[in-house]
Amino acid sequence: MFGMNKKKQQTKITEQKKQQTDNLPQDFTISSSNEKFIQHIKQKIHSPSDLICKVISDEIRIIYLTHLVDGKSLKEDILKTLEGQDDWTPRTIFEKLPIPEMESSSNFKTCIQEILKGGVLIHVEGFSEVVIAKITTYQTRSLTAPENESQVVGSQIGFNESLPTNVSIVRRYITNPNLCNEQFTIGKHTNTSLSLLYIHGIASEDQVNTVRQRIQDLDINDLIDSANLAELIEDSSSSIFPQLLLTERPDRFCDGLLSGKLGIVVNGSSMAIVSPYSFFEFFQSREDQNLRWPIGTFVRLLRFIAIFIAIFATPMYVATLTFHYDVIPQPLIIPLSESRAIVPFPPVMEALLMELTIELLREAGARLPTKVGQTIGIVGGIVLGTAAVDAGLTSNVLIIIMALSALASFTTPNYVMGNSIRVVRFPIMIFAGFWGYYGLMLAFCIILIHLLRQSSLGAPYLAPFYPPRWKDWPNSIIRLPLPLIKRQPTNTAREESNNALINRSGGLRGEKVKE
Amino acid sequence: MSKTSQISNNEKFNVSLVFFIITTCQVGVGIHGFQRLITQQAKQDAWISVILSFLFAHIAVFFMVKTLQLYQTKDLYEIHEDLYGKYVGTLFNFLYIFYYAFAFFVVLRNYIEVIVTWVFPGLSQGFIGITILLTVIYAFTGGFRVLVGIAFFSFFSIIWIPFLLWFPLEFAHYNHLSPVLATDLASIVKGAYTMTFTIVGFEILYFIYPFIKERKKAEKFAHLGLLATLLLYLFIMLVSIVYFSEKQLERTIWATLTLFSVVRLPFIERVEIITICIWLVILLPNLCFFMWAAYRGASRIIKIKPRAFLSIFFVIMYVGILLVQSRYQINHMNNFFSQWAFIIVFIYPFLLYIFAKTKKSIKNRVKNH
Amino acid sequence: MNRKKVFILLLSVTLFLFGCAQTRILERISLVTLVGYDQDQEDNVKATAVIRQINPNYESSIETQSETEHTSKGARTKLDMRTAKQLMIGQLRVVLFGEELAKSGLDEAIHTLMMNSEISTSTYLAVVEGETKPMIEYKYETITDIGQYLYNLLKHNIEQQQSISSTLHEVVRDKYSPYREFAMPLLKKEGEHIQINGVAFFNNGKMVGRLPADDIYYVVLLSDSFKHGTLELEIPSDNIVSKSKQSGNLQIAVDSIETDRRFDLVSVKPAQFDISINMKCRLLEIDSNVPIGNHQVIKKVEKAMSKKMEEEINRIFKYSQQVNSDIFGFGEVYKSHLSESELKNVKWNELYPDIKAKIQVNVDIIRNGTFE
């Protein structure tokens, strides 16, 4: 067991070495002298005040950054063990220290890396090899319910900011030897570690290679959040629609992995990336699967209708009132025109003004503490709305339509996509205000073409509708009963027409997976 | 051997999409008012003319596929060069480029006319032209896959038409249909001939063929696509005959749109205004594919960059829109176009096939000896 | 990147160069909901329009204006000069014609309406007894918006088949058919009310005759596939109520459930038709003395009703022949049996007054209420 672990770690070291060669200066060797080694370390990391060097015995020195290590483990496991015996060699230390995660390295750069990550360096006089005890501890948030993607039925656990925790959650969902975890460290200044997760045998090799390549090719100084990574590795970052899913839900993440997608977890970010993701999948929620299937279907269709309401309701109002009064049926024409009787602006101005107000409210609500946020909602929504109508600055019909479309835009289960939907309304509204229904259709065509031009990790963005994968249609439009879901979606299949079989009724997934 | 342009696997598309491309390339502006011209010839038997014209179309497609099968990976431009040699082939290619540019213009100009007449009498024609052209160019620069995608989605904006046409059936007088076959055959054939303007578009098969993944099945889907269009046109024709009185139909310029204007939904009046605007989505594949076909030819004859081609194309179309102003000119243009299209779409494929076949067999015989 | 910049630049240039289409913002225009045309001296047409405007008190005000001009467009331009907001006719719902104008011909008026793409083809057309102007301009006590009132009046009566349908598209269709004529409802101002007072028959675009309101039922029944509607009849009471206290006639009201009308061309020369009408109906009202539980009696009632209806329909058919206005579509049936060459010399107009028709009505009472 132990040997195997070591071997694994060994390969990992070489891998890291390979990646980090160009990040670090030339000097790789470790001095066999205690003093020199400590001096090197201090020099390298500019002798920070939280660097502690402890003398255990004449030969042994331990070096660490005090805020990063677990004090209890340091005291009880390392210090006690080391003090209890003499004549240690790195090898015996490595074998005898009761620390689960250890590494033995003769690479100076690795030592620097590890100490910065919270490792304890144990140096023995006369050896140019250092034992690294990884007893890192730092405060992480406890696992709470995902706040931005809450759902009623289903698990209530969300990712937090720690990479190991997040990976462990995924491992708990998918206990499978084929779950691959590839670690990368990117960012010259931040050295952020991230994990690429996928299930070997279900995920497409091509896509894994693409993502790996893209991550390795990144030449950046810093990486703070996974959203930045997503922007850097997606196909077209100039589009207003996201092409990779950012989720804080482990169940949604694992769902993706199980249908052959790739996941990326970035340390320090509670949002994990899932790719490739198609446009329509953004509007599906994990909850659809948790509800009974007719209800899940209903909710899913409702959400599709909501997209159209969100995008087209206000522009329709603008176009109709500005140009196409003849389309209004007779019973509606009186209430409509009376409500707008003293509004001084043309409909497009009116709508833009009010939509802008709603966006302001949303933004203010998102930035403020929850309690104040609620107050803002009430003040903005009720007071401002009523006052605007009373003052004759807007018509109450518009207020209704706008509230409806705002509501519809928030049904999108993904916040990022919801934002895109809301933003895309503004140009459409302007088109509608200038050229009526013609402008509306023009905008629709442009958006359609835009969506057709996008791809997510090389996979078509509008799949499965275009290119038509007829067999994937049923489960995309409605939520099929689980026993009927037999195939993996083509978008992530290893080769076209060679989809892994998915058997949900029998309990086993991925039958074709190689053992 | 002449050079064959390489088509990457990425650009190839699924054979079932041929169905959508054929249908959406056929349905364009002709459908707005094709009933009028045909009834002027074939009276109440106009629907037979529709069927007859599609019969011809099926035959034409049959010969097209046969010709293409002789050459497998080549499109028509390459076949021309191969068949007639460099110079004559180029001449023929020029004709086709011109045909497609003309077709593009005809579609664009007719649609502008409809918009200006029904929806925005005050909107500048040049403006509509420019916006549509820019949209098409945006699609064009996205690559061939995007064009096929537009055709696919556009098909779903055609589907609602038959449903909407149930409403005028409320006012139908079914005895308008009889007596069946009372008009003489010549008029029916003449009616079928006037269908040309509405039916063309499927000749795009000549150019998309090399892009199809499983070419063997292409013929089936091309015929299915024709059949779908036939059903649509036939239904519209039948509804028009039973709804309009004969003399009225002969005077109604856009009979299909007039049919829409009868529809009364509880929440919308004047459905035709909305449908005209939705027509933009229906036209898009027409325009995109015509432009693309013209570009394929142009890039083959002179090594023209897409951007240069698009700029020239844009300017020509815009100037064209400014030049063709009156309804009279448009009608004249449409007539001229349909005469020309008839030769290119219905007669030429047959001749081409015979020519290609004989040439091949002669070649084979020479080889064998 | 460069290409994109050029694209965006080009786009914005077009946006600003061509500006926008002429706006027609709902509350900044005046909507014409009703237009009445009257004959004036010397071929001129007097147009009276009901114009709806929105005032700042959130109320819509109704205004009527009238103007005389050669063309209806000319009249509109003149009216425009007198209204605060631009006149728009996209919401036009009803067009009325004065009787005198209708008699001198509506060809031009209808053609103008049809040509204008702004006007909905579902607009109702009707003829007014006398002139339209006094009817439109009168300040009714109960009617605030005469445009809307007339639209609703026509709409619900047509939907319930108590009046013949005369939307613009139907009138145009019949007008351009050489084998059919059109008819319009006839409106009349009756004190404080407006009522449908009959049917106006047209021949070649000119009003040639009229039938009173009581006959509308039969006109609708004969001209269209009549679906449902209430019919009141007077049938002779003999044979039905044996111990009849009051001899003479029996009042009866039925509600038709399903009606089927057929014209069959029996012979071409001379043109002869079989008109057969099958009606399934529900008994609504009948004299309490009639034992409707009795099958025989019901049969007798049915027979008497059929006979009565045959008489009425015959009368109406004869009237339409008399004024030579084939609004029922006999001509189309005739035409559908003849080939193009045979029709060449046929002028249905000349033929119609002499055609023969055998009328057969078959009434079936299938339901008769909850109490016998």
Q: Burial-class residue B318 by CB neighbours within 10 Å (0-12, 13-18, 19+).
A: middle
**Contacts for A507 with CB less than 8 Å, ≥ 6 apart:** none
C18: pLDDT confidence band, cut at 50, 70 and 90? low
Cα B230 to Cα B49: distance, rounded to the nearest angstrom = 11
Share of chain A above pLDDT 70, in %: 89
pLDDT tens digits, B130-166: 889 989 999 999 989 999 999 999 999 999 999 999 9
Q: pLDDT band at residue A75, thresholds of 50, 70 and 90?
A: confident
Q: Is the peptide bond before A464 cis (omega within 30 degrees of 0)?
A: yes
* A257-264 mean pLDDT: 91
Tell me the average pLDDT across C100-107.
88
Answer yes or no: do C288 and C191 share one domain. no
Q: Are residues C153 and C63 in the same domain?
A: yes
Residue-wise DSSP of A54-123: EE-SSSEEEEEETTTB-HHHIIIIIIHHHHT-S---HHHHHHHS--SSEEEE--HHHHHHHHHHTEEEEE
SS3 for A332-347, per residue? HHHHHHHHCCCCCCCH
Q: Do B307 and C172 touch (CB under 8 A)?
A: no
Same domain, C52 and C139: yes
- Please check the confidence at residue C50 and state whether its pLDDT lies above 80: yes
B173 contacts in chain C (CB < 8 Å): 329, 332
Whether B1 has a pLDDT exceeding 90, the answer reads no
Q: C165-202, pLDDT tens digit by residue?
A: 889 999 998 888 888 889 999 999 888 889 898 999 99
**CB–CB of C366/C257 below 8 Å?**
yes
| C-beta atoms of B183 and C340 within 8 A | yes
Choose the closest CB to A326 out of B115, B142, B269. Answer: B269
Beta bridge partners of A459: A456
Q: Do C173 and B183 touch (CB under 8 A)?
A: no
Instruction: Using the predicted structure, report yes or no on whether residue B35 has a pLDDT greater than 60.
Output: yes
- What is the pLDDT at residue A497? 43
> Could you tell me the pLDDT band of residue B68, with boundaries at 50, 70 and 90?
very high
Tokens of B161: 């038409």
**Chain C interface, best mutation among A238, A239, A320, A326, by max C CB count within 10 A:** A326
Q: Are A258 and A446 in contact (CB under 8 A)?
A: no
CB spacing of B14 vs A445 below 8 angstroms? no
Tell me: do C230 and C339 sit in the same domain: yes
Residue-level pLDDT at A25? 44
Average confidence (pLDDT) over B296-324: 91
**Which residue among C152, C178, C213 closes a domain?**
C213
B247/C14 touch (CB, cutoff 8 Å), yes or no: no
The answer to whether B260 touches B254, Cβ cutoff 8 Å, is no
- Taking the C-alpha atoms of residue C356 and residue C365, their distance in angstroms, rounded to an integer, is 29
Q: Which of B31-35, B137-141, C109-113 has the lowest mean pLDDT?
A: C109-113
Residue A507 pLDDT more than 50? no
Mean pLDDT of the region A280-293: 88
Residue A467: asked if its preceding bond is cis (omega within 30°), the reply is yes
Q: Are C174 and C327 in contact (CB under 8 A)?
A: yes
Cβ-defined contact of C11 to B246 (cutoff 8 Å): no
CB B252 within 8 A of CB B244: yes
- Same domain for C242 and C137: no
Percent of chain A at pLDDT exceeding 90: 27
Residue of A nearest to B144 (CA): A453
Max mean pLDDT among A8-12, A32-36, A261-265 falls in: A261-265
Q: Inform me whether the C-beta atom of residue C11 falls under 8 Å from chain B C-beta atoms.
A: yes
- pLDDT exceeds cutoff 70 at A500: no
| Structural domain includes residue C69 | yes
d(CA A469, CA A146): 33
Q: Which residues contact B84 (CB under 8 A, 6 or more apart)?
A: B91, B92
| Residue C370 within any structural domain of the chain | yes
Same domain, C186 and C82: yes
Q: Point out the residue among C120, C177, C329 whose CB comes nearest to the CB of B246.
A: C177
Of the three residues C154, C189, C213, the one that is the final residue of a domain is C213
Residue C13 lies in a domain: no
C123 vs C6, which has greater pLDDT? C123
In chain B, domain spans? 11-368
**Signed CA dihedral, B317, B323, B326, B329: sign only:** negative
C11 within some domain: no
Q: Give the percent of chain B with pLDDT over 90.
A: 60
For residue C114, the chain B residue with the least C-alpha distance is: B252
Q: What is the mean pLDDT of residues C338-367?
A: 84
Confidence of residue C295 (pLDDT cuts 50, 70, 90): confident
Any idea which residue has 């613009």 for tokens? C168
Residues C272 and C205 in one domain: no
Q: Is the pLDDT of residue C262 over 60?
A: yes
pLDDT band at A35 (very low <50, low <70, confident <90, very high): confident
Integer angstrom CA distances of residue A339 from A439, C54, C153 = 25, 10, 26
Mention every residue, 6+ apart, whose C-beta is less than 8 A from residue A218.
Answer: A186, A232, A233
CATH number of the structural domain B11-368: 1.20.1740.10
For chain C, report the end-to-end CA distance as a whole number of angstroms.
87
- pLDDT tens for B177-234 read 888 887 888 999 999 999 999 999 999 999 999 999 888 899 999 999 999 999 999 9
Quote the CA–CA distance of A450 and A469 in Å, as a whole number.
Answer: 20
CA proximity to A77, closest of A133, A131, A129, A124: A133
Helix (H) or strand (E) holding B85: helix B76-114
Chain A residues whose CB is inside 8 A of the B128 CB are 438
Q: Name residue A41's amino acid.
A: I
* Cβ–Cβ < 8 Å for C219, C209: no
Residue contact B120–C21, C-beta within 8 A: yes
Whether C120 has its CB under 8 Å from any CB of chain B: the answer is yes
What three-state secondary structure class fits A193?
Answer: strand
Q: For residue A150, is pLDDT > 80?
A: yes
Q: What mean pLDDT do residues C16-21 have?
A: 64
| Residue A514: per-residue pLDDT | 36
Mean pLDDT, chain B, as a whole number? Answer: 90
Q: What is the DSSP string of C42-76?
A: TT-EEEEEEEEEEETTTEEEEEEEEEEESSHHHHH
Q: Of the candidates C11, C176, C339, which has its C-beta nearest B251's C-beta? A: C176
Q: Do the Cβ atoms of B139 and A462 come within 8 Å?
A: no
> Which ipTM value was assigned to this complex?
0.93
Phi, psi of A200 (to 5 degrees): -65, 135
d(CA C91, CA C31): 6
Overall average pLDDT of the A41-56 stretch: 86
Among all chains, which residue has been given the structure tokens 């929620």?
A285
Are the beta carbons of C51 and C147 closer than 8 angstroms? no
- Which stretches of chain C are assigned E, i.e. beta strand? 29-39, 45-55, 59-69, 86-88, 94-98, 124-128, 183-190, 193-203, 206-212, 229-236, 249-267, 272-286, 356-367
Q: Is the dihedral of CA A23, A26, A30, A31 positive or negative?
A: negative
Min Cα separation C60/chain A (Å): 7
C185/chain A closest Cα distance in angstroms = 21
Q: Quick one: pLDDT band at residue C5, thresholds 50, 70, 90?
A: confident
The beta-carbon neighbor of C121 closest among B121, B138, B258 is B258
Compare CB distances from A338 to C15, C21, C58 and report the shortest one's residue. C58
Does residue C10 lie in a domain region?
Answer: no
Single-letter code of the amino acid located at A429? M
Residue that is last in its domain, among C163, C187, C213 = C213
pLDDT for B108: 95
Mean pLDDT to the nearest integer, A37-51: 86
State the Cα–Cα distance between residues A433 and A441, nearest whole angstrom: 12
Residues C246 and C369 reside in one and the same domain: yes
User: Domain check: are C60 and C93 in the same one?
Assistant: yes
pLDDT range class, residue C214, cuts 50, 70, 90:
confident
Residues C183 and C327 sit within 8 Å (Cβ to Cβ) = yes
Mark yes or no for CB contact B150/A442 under 8 Å. no
Closest Cβ opposite residue B267 in set A329, A453, A466: A329
Q: What is the CATH number of the domain that holds C370?
A: 3.30.300.210
The pLDDT assigned to A34 comes to 84
| Number of domains, chain C | 2
Domain span at C128: 24-213
Nearest to C14 among B131, B177, B264 (CB): B131
Mean pLDDT of C243-256: 71
Q: Which of A280, A245, A284, A235 is nearest to A265 (CA)?
A: A245
Lowest average pLDDT, out of B56-60, B73-77, B122-126, B319-323, goes to B122-126
Over 60: is that where the pLDDT of A105 sits?
Answer: yes
User: Are B252 and C121 spatial neighbours (Cβ–Cβ below 8 Å)?
Assistant: no
- Among C121, C158, C262, the strongest candidate for a mutation testing the B interface, having the largest count of B CBs within 10 A, is C121
- For residue C218, is it within any domain? no
Backbone angles phi, psi at A492, to 5 degrees: -110, 10
Q: Are residues C295 and C330 in the same domain?
A: yes
Q: Which chains touch B (3 or more CB pairs under 8 A)?
A: A, C
Given this model, what pLDDT does residue B347 score?
93
Q: Are residues C254 and C202 part of one domain? A: no
Residue C71: band (very low, low, confident or very high) from pLDDT cuts 50, 70, 90: low
Cross-strand bridge partners of residue C358: C274
pLDDT of residue A504: 44
Query: Closest Cα partner for A257 from A514, A511, A509, A4?
Result: A509
Predicted confidence (pLDDT) at residue C63 exceeds the cutoff of 80: no
Task: Give, in order, the Cα–Cα distances in Å from A36 to each of A33, A51, A94, A121.
Answer: 5, 16, 22, 14
Whether A8 shows a pLDDT value over 70: the answer reads no
Q: DSSP readout, A355-396? A: HHHHHHHHHHHHHS-HHHHHHHHHIIIIIIHHHHHHTTSS-H
Residues of chain A neighbouring C91 (CB-CB closer than 8 A): 325-326, 328, 330, 333
Q: What is the mean pLDDT of residues C294-298?
A: 82
pLDDT (0 to 100) of residue A114: 85
Spatial separation of the C-alpha atoms in residues C297 and C317, rounded to whole Å: 30
> Is residue C369 included in any domain, yes or no?
yes
- CA C311 to chain CA centroid, nearest Å: 24
Q: Rounded to whole angstroms, how far apart are CA atoms A213 and B353?
A: 50
Q: Give the number of other CB atoms < 10 A from CB of residue B265.
A: 12
**How buried is A1 (Cβ within 10 angstroms: 0-12 exposed, 13-18 middle, 19+ buried)?**
exposed
Specify whether the CB–CB gap between B26 and B100 falls below 8 A.
no
Among candidates B93, B245, B106, which has minimal Cα distance to B176?
B245
In sequence order, the 6+-apart residues with CB closer than 8 A to the CB of C334 are: C179, C265, C268, C271, C346, C348, C351
